[in-house]
Amino acid sequence: GAVVSQHPSRVICKSGTSVKIECRSLDFQATTMFWYRQFPKQSLMLMATSNEGSKATYEQGVEKDKFLINHASLTLSTLTVTSAHPEDSSFYICSAETGTGANVLTFGAGSRLTVL
Amino acid sequence: SQKIEQNSEALNIQEGKTATLTCNYTNYSPAYLQWYRQDPGRGPVFLLLIRENEKEKRKERLKVTFDTTLKQSLFHITASQPADSATYLCARGDDSWGKLQFGAGTQVVVTP
């Protein structure tokens, strides 16, 4: 079945630094990927929709200059958290639609970001 | 705005029993509802999808219903096993492409 690989699974960084998270579709091409953020005991919140070869579409309230998304190929999307602060600490998960219809998503394993 | 709500209280159930989870939505009925399983520190895994015009879907020990009158979907795990312990997420989809709106999930704990 479709597999989405996400890296790193955990990252700890100092406040003010930038962190890049990679999301790869391993056995299929994903023209669109979705980036979510999840706080403990809360639902997944869609941050942005990443489109191959074009600009990402950000959800209301998400700062596009802070959360840079690049979708350079049909199998890779990256999320860069710039100038990270402790409030950016969260669980970030990417996903892609697998083409089975009705927006069934395959998710990556997630990346736990801790900003000190 | 649309809301999708799941019981935040964990469901503790004995092995072999049926676990029933509830997902309620507001406003108009979504085109479909999806159910995912999420283990701690992991991304969600797709389980089942049910469309607005479907009453019930089954997959092995899982069953999902969609009641547009009650604006509710029920998710059943029959003959539950400790390995079924996880958080189960409900998601509504209204478009033919793209966005899903997720509930906060209900944690299920199956004890031997």
Residue pLDDT, tens place only, A13-45:
999 999 999 999 998 888 889 999 999 888 999
Q: Which residue of B has its CA nearest to A47?
A: B99
Cα–Cα distance for residue pair A75/B23, rounded to 1 Å: 33
Confidence of residue A101 (pLDDT cuts 50, 70, 90): low
Cβ atoms B49, B29 nearer than 8 A: no
Cα–Cα distance for residue pair A43/B75, rounded to 1 Å: 17
Which of B8, B41, B100 has the CB atom closest to A112's CB atom?
Answer: B41
Residues of chain A positioned with their CB less than 8 A from the CB of B104: 41-43
Residue A65 CA to its chain's centroid (Å): 15
Tokens 């492409």 correspond to B97
Share of chain A above pLDDT 70, in %: 97
Q: Which residue of B has its CA nearest to A105?
A: B46
Q: Assess B103–A contact: CB distance below 8 Å, yes or no.
A: yes
pLDDT of B39 over the 80 cut:
yes
**Among A62-66, A98-102, B103-107, which is the least confidently predicted range?**
A98-102
Q: Can you tell me the mean pLDDT for B91-109?
A: 86
Instruction: Tell me B53's DSSP state.
Output: T
Cα–Cα distance for residue pair B97/A94, rounded to 1 Å: 16
Question: How many helices (H) and strands (E) would you count in chain B?
Answer: 0, 11
Q: Can you tell me the mean pLDDT for B12-40?
A: 95
**Among A59-68, A102-111, B33-42, B78-87, which is the least confidently predicted range?**
A102-111
**Among A55-59, B46-50, B97-101, B107-111, which is the least confidently predicted range?**
B97-101
Q: Assess B112–A contact: CB distance below 8 Å, yes or no.
A: no
Cβ atoms A34, A94 nearer than 8 A: yes
Is B98 in contact with A103 (Cβ distance < 8 A)? yes
Query: Quick one: pLDDT at residue A53?
Result: 86
Q: Assess B98–A contact: CB distance below 8 Å, yes or no.
A: yes
Averaged pLDDT of chain A:
93
Tokens of B2: 């649309």
Cα–Cα distance for residue pair B48/B55, rounded to 1 Å: 13
Query: Quick one: pLDDT at residue B98?
Result: 60
